[in-house]
Amino acid sequence: MWPGKQIYVVDDDSGFLKGIERLLRARGFEVRSFSSAEEFEAAADPTEASCLILDNHLSGISGVELLSRLKRSGSRIPVVIVTGQGSEATQRAAVAAGCSAYLEKPFSGTVLVDALVEAVGPDFQI
């Protein structure tokens, strides 16, 4: 049902990207990472991934804005928004834009993997 176990990750924090890549690869996922929303828009094909992990506070286009653009374009990729600067307003905006899950950093690897499985659906096998 899903195009594979590829997960896209967009975050401008290189340390976070490396950590998430290691965590997800150790759990059997393929990971492709991007350091900005603009890089993602230029190089990614959302139909090739099972899920997108998207930081909200990016330099340039925000995660919520990228999510809104994806939804307007008809993309159905599940999106997990992550943020290190969470607020109720940010969470409401992310949910209104259509995120599947909203996580505030720091979070455990188990919490992230559980959010991915929930976002993608029960047929997604780890």
Residue 100 included in any domain: yes
Averaged pLDDT for residues 78-100: 92
Question: Residue 90 belongs to a domain with what CATH number?
Answer: 3.40.50.2300
Residue-range definition of the domain harbouring residue 35: 6-120
Show the DSSP H helices in 31-100 as ranges.
37-43, 63-72, 88-97
Q: How many structural domains does the chain have?
A: 1
64 within domain boundaries? yes
Q: How far apart are CA 99 and CA 102, in angstroms?
A: 7
Buried b or exposed e, range 44-83, using 16+ CB within 10 angstroms: bebeebbbbbbbbbbeebbbbebbbebeeeeeebbbbbbb
65, part of any domain: yes
pLDDT tens readout for residues 96-113:
999 999 999 999 999 999
Q: In this structure, is residue 125 part of a structural domain?
A: no
Cα–Cα distance for residue pair 96/14, rounded to 1 Å: 28
Q: Please state, rounded to an integer, the average pLDDT across all residues of the chain.
A: 90
**pLDDT grade for 2, boundaries at 50, 70 and 90:** very low
Band the pLDDT of 38: cuts 50, 70, 90: very high
pTM above 0.75, yes or no: yes
Is 1 among the domain residues? no
